[in-house]
Amino acid sequence: MKYFTKQSRFMLLFSAGLALLVIFTALMVYNTAGKYERTSFAVLIFIFFLAAGSVIFVYFSKARKNRILKKLGSGFLESYDILVEKINAEPLSMIEKKEIARDLLEIFFEAQDKGRNPDDVVGKDLDSFARHITEAYGYRNRFLWNILTSVQITVFYIFLVHFFQTLEIGRFSAFFSVKVSPWLFLFLAANAFVLIPLIKTALKKQKNWLMLMEIIVFCVLFIGFSELMHGLYPDARWVRDMSSDSLSLIPNFLAFSIYLLLIPLSFLGKQAIKNLSLKKI
């Protein structure tokens, strides 16, 4: 943690807090479902794995980056960290983000060697500097870009859930017979299409408190709605079905192929958005 900036430390603590909150939400949903037909234990293992993995990923990505950046002065390191977080929230490809981060690093090292300070290089308004960088890549439809990203994340979630539940069954031939709780699917889909884009917006604005509030409100609303439905309609069949493993997301090879096809199609969609933005420069 020696070379972690204030923002890096926050992101590490934030990811740990998020992981605990997600695990707590999963346990609450699991307990609620248990009143009717308990959902698969493999689902909980999947969520624990995903939550813990996110914390480990954040730590090692930040640690590796900060070991490389430890030769930068604290002012340059802080500015670099904030700018990279802002750029990561923009509708840019991973290659473009890495290219920008590498260019910023070269600029900062050169400025530091010449005895300059961060304000001489990027100015006092980091938002304006980051905006000028992204504008150089042309206008991109943020909404469409986020939708395509959310599709990719949702497909990733679906495959992971099926993989863990198949492991619990112990036979890979049972992959297409795996069913999940509709509540779980709604939770993961809402996470991908609503929560993650909101977190990116807050991250871009450097409003850490807003990120925390968004996550807390999201989990509270999800748990509250689930409990409310069970309280108002305890004997309703659709409520019981929502809590039990009744939804087959990958019932056959055709559905499996469609999910696989969505991944390259989403990347092609992002490439088309990039091509259109280059024409408008």
* pLDDT, tens only, 215-251: 778 878 877 887 787 778 777 777 777 777 778 889 8
Residue 167 within any structural domain of the chain: yes
Which of 91, 29, 70, 15 has the alpha carbon at shortest distance from 222?
A: 29
Rounded to an integer, the average pLDDT of 104-117 is 88
DSSP letters, 4-60, are --HHHHHHHHHHHHHHHHHHHHHHHHHHHHHTTSPPPHHHHHHHHHHHHHHHHHHHH
Q: Is pLDDT above 50 for 35? A: no
Radius of gyration of the chain (CA): 22
Phi, psi dihedral angles at 247 (to 5 degrees): -110, 125
Which two three-digit tokens encode residue 82?
A: 């904030």
pLDDT at position 80 is 85
Token pair 């300059």 is found at 116
Count of domains for the chain: 1
Contact in structure between 154 and 191 (CB atoms under 8 Å): no
Q: Tell me the residue range of the domain where 138 lies.
A: 6-279
Taking the C-alpha atoms of residue 111 and residue 75, their distance in angstroms, rounded to an integer, is: 12
Taking the C-alpha atoms of residue 230 and residue 17, their distance in angstroms, rounded to an integer, is: 28
pLDDT at position 180 is 81
Residue 45 within any structural domain of the chain: yes
Say what the pTM is: 0.71
Residue 1 within any structural domain of the chain: no
Residue 81 within any structural domain of the chain: yes
Q: Is pLDDT above 80 for 71? A: no
Phi, psi dihedral angles at 273 (to 5 degrees): -65, -40
| pLDDT, tens digit, 9 for 90 and up, residues 165-211 | 777 676 777 788 888 888 888 888 988 898 888 888 877 776 767 77
Taking the C-alpha atoms of residue 70 and residue 83, their distance in angstroms, rounded to an integer, is: 17
Which two three-digit tokens encode residue 78?
A: 């802080």
Contact in structure between 25 and 187 (CB atoms under 8 Å): yes
> Would you call 271 exposed, middle or buried from its count of C-beta atoms within 10 A (0-12, 13-18, 19+)?
exposed
Residue 242 within any structural domain of the chain: yes
- What's the number of CA atoms in the CB half-sphere (13 Å) around residue 131? 6
Q: CA separation (Å) from 226 to 105, 188, 213, 219? A: 47, 14, 20, 11
Token pair 């925390």 is found at 212
pLDDT at position 29 is 54
Q: Residues 25-57, buried b or exposed e (16+ Cβ, 10 A)? A: bbebbbebbeeeeebbebbbebbbebbeeebee
Mean pLDDT of the chain: 78
pLDDT at position 24 is 65
